[in-house]
Amino acid sequence: MSLPTPRTMSPSKVATFRKCALAFRFSAIDRLPESPTPQALKGTLVHRALERLFWNHEPGRRTPGAACGELGEAFSEPDTMAALAALELPEKAVTDLRRDAEQLVAGYFSLENPDEVNFIGVELGLEANVGGVRLRGIIDRLDLTSTGELVITDYKTGRVPREGHEHGNFAGVHYYALLCERVLGRRPVHLRLMYLREPVTISVEPTAQSLAGLSRRTEAIWSAIERACASEDFRPKPSALCGWCSFQSLCPAWVGGIRAG
Ligand code: SF4
């Protein structure tokens, strides 16, 4: 009997399969819970604060103070309280997390004036068939420029990758561009990664060729996933990412926290 192939996928799950097939199996097929981390919670809170800033405040009222207030609201939401409780952080760590989140939100205002943003979607969910797989993604923000063009913005709370290593971060937003093209019938003119910590924005222009290539690669990855499910063959692929992997205690490549072999 072969394993069930997932029916829908997020771009991040596709990326996980490329990095380590076994981690993909644990996450997407066995659906094992992944340990929360303070970094992930901080990222969620910053995204939530910026989402609330755009939904709850008209242009002219999207101030740093309003964003800071929305971050406070995000901290009080039940999901945040539950996540904080699960992390069991000491009080000082919670204070540090909150201060860092405030700095990240403040960093956003160095990158653009939100009063000038004409957004058509925030935390916008899109879904389409891509290369035989039902792909589902959530776009941080989709804007309409004054000339009627679409622009995707993705907020990043981590550090800017070293030169030559940006590709991984752009892979996800290229998927969002592909989803826009499939669902809205138009290719965004810019994909922007906003690194709130530095702060700096890196931008690329997706092309018809780059999106067609992504569609072909997705088809190939999907075929590989189907083969792996049919043969139940998901191999570990140890890398630096093992340090962040929630499944290390289940992984044959690691024994008692030490790399096997
Ligand atoms: S610990 Fe490393 S090799 Fe093992 S499943 Fe996780 S990412 Fe893959």
Q: Are 237 and 228 in contact (CB under 8 A)?
A: no
6 is a domain residue: no
Give the contacts of 20 (CB within 8 A, at least 6 positions apart).
Answer: 236, 237, 238, 239, 241, 245
Is residue 86 scored above 80 in pLDDT?
yes
The CATH number given to whatever domain includes residue 132 is 3.90.320.10
Q: Which of 66, 95, 114 is the last residue of a domain?
A: 114
The whole-angstrom separation of Cα 143 and Cα 80 is 28
Question: Of all protein residues, whose CA lies closest to atom 4 belonging to ligand 1?
Answer: 251
Do 110 and 122 fall into the same domain?
no
234: how many CB neighbours lie within 10 A of its CB? 20
Count of domains forming the chain: 2
Final residue in a domain of this structure, among 95, 114, 133 = 114
Same domain, 100 and 68: yes
Tell me the mean pLDDT in the region 42-48: 97
Residue 182 pLDDT class (50, 70, 90 cuts): very high
Is residue 26 in some structural domain?
Answer: no
Shared-domain flag, residues 123 and 198:
yes
Given 175, 191, 215, which residue is the final one in a domain? 215
Closest C-alpha residue for ligand 1 atom 2: 242
Question: How is residue 28 written in tokens?
Answer: 């997407």
Expressed in angstroms and rounded, the spacing between residue 89 Cα and the centre of ligand 1 is 25
Give 224-244 pLDDT, tens digit per residue.
999 999 999 999 999 988 988
CA of 87 to the centre of ligand 1 (A): 22
Q: Is the pLDDT of residue 88 over 90?
A: yes
- Would residue 48 count as lying in a domain? yes
Separation of CA 244 and ligand 1 centre (Å):
9
Same domain as 131, residue 77: no
The DSSP output letter for 132 is T
Range of the domain at 200: 118-215
CA of 233 relative to ligand 1 center, distance in Å = 14
Residues 87 and 138 in one domain: no
Q: What is the pLDDT of residue 187?
A: 97
Question: What pLDDT score was predicted for residue 164?
Answer: 65
The answer on 126 and 206 residing in a single domain is yes
Strand ranges, E, within 197-257: 200-204, 254-255
pTM for the model stands at: 0.91
pLDDT at 244: 87
Q: Which of 194, 197, 68, 101 is nearest to 139 (CA)?
A: 194
Q: Give the number of the atom of ligand 1 that is nearest the alpha carbon of residue 241.
A: 7
Whether residue 206 has pLDDT greater than 80: yes
pLDDT value for 233: 96
Give me the chain's average pLDDT, please.
93
Q: Reduce the secondary structure of 141-185 to three states and give it as a string.
A: EEEECCCCCEEEEEEECCCCCCCCCCHHHHHHHHHHHHHHHHHHC
Same domain, 142 and 95: no
**Judgement on whether residues 92 and 165 belong to the same structural domain of the protein:** no
Amino acid at 153: T
Give me the pLDDT at residue 257, please: 78
pLDDT tens-digit readout, 98-123: 999 999 999 999 999 999 999 999 99
**123 and 85 share one domain:** no
Alpha carbons 88 and 116: distance in angstroms, whole number:
40
54-81, pLDDT tens digit by residue? 999 999 999 999 999 999 999 999 999 9
